[in-house]
Amino acid sequence: MDGGAADEHLVREAEKIAVALGRMFPGLCEVVLHDLRDPDRSVRAIENNLSGRQPGDPATELGLSRIADPAFPDVVQNYPNRFPDGRPAKSTSIGIKNAEGRYIAAICLNLDVSVLSPVALTLANLVATDGGHGDTPLETLRDRQARELRRAVEEFSAERGAPPRSLSRTDKRALVRQLGRDGYFESRDAARTIADLLGVSRATVYNYAKPPSDPR
């Protein structure tokens, strides 16, 4: 078997692994096989498409780095990443070398962390204990920042067993109105933060925040 045929065989074997990994974690972990022999059309296969890419799309910066440098690390593990729509991701990239020591492919796993955060929050609530705060206020409305706002959204979502972006329109409207009653709209850029968390526009957030119309 010549070098080109041997490389193609390796890539085909890697494709089987990528497809199997993706089907192991449906809707949760995107798995992409990059054919680094053709960086302009690097994406060979993609399972659980969470990033919007398609077969034939070009290589990422990490893939180009591997092509340029055979000494690039074989595995880049658990690095923070982000999908195009802003969702946080946890990624791992595994380089595949041929017999000559040249990178010819890479399998990349992109875990959708936003799907897991409500589950993690629910588990944290289950094991939480009361520290006895007495009458001391834990926070004031004016001091709430994006972190507290995100936590409020995730708590609401966890109670309904879904990530924020997967909530129904009715639940999103109820959540926005609850955030308004709790004073979160007093925070700077609250509408933008809520829109990003729910995957809607700021105009939609303001529309959801409006009180129900008077039936009279």
Q: Does 203 score more than 70 pLDDT?
A: yes
Return the half-sphere exposure (C-beta side, CA atoms, 13 A cut-off) of residue 68.
Answer: 7
- Residue 210 to residue 84: CA distance in whole angstroms: 29
111 close to 28: Cβ distance less than 8 angstroms: yes
Contacts of 44 (CB under 8 A, 6+ apart): 11, 15, 33, 34, 35, 55, 105
- Tell me the average pLDDT across 146-171: 84
DSSP letter for each residue of 87-121? -EEEEEEEEEE-TTS-EEEEEEEEEEHHHHHHHHH
The one-letter amino acid at 47: E
The one-letter amino acid at 30: E
Higher-pLDDT residue of 50 and 129 is 50
Write out the two tokens for 177: 């109105």
- Tell me the average pLDDT across 159-179: 88
Closest CA to 187 of 154, 140, 155: 140
The one-letter amino acid at 144: R
Q: Does 201 score more than 60 pLDDT?
A: yes
Contacts of 135 (CB under 8 A, 6+ apart): none
Q: How far lies 209's CA from each of 144, 196, 205, in Å?
A: 18, 15, 6
- Summarised one tens digit per residue, pLDDT across range 121-146 is 666 667 666 555 555 444 444 444 67
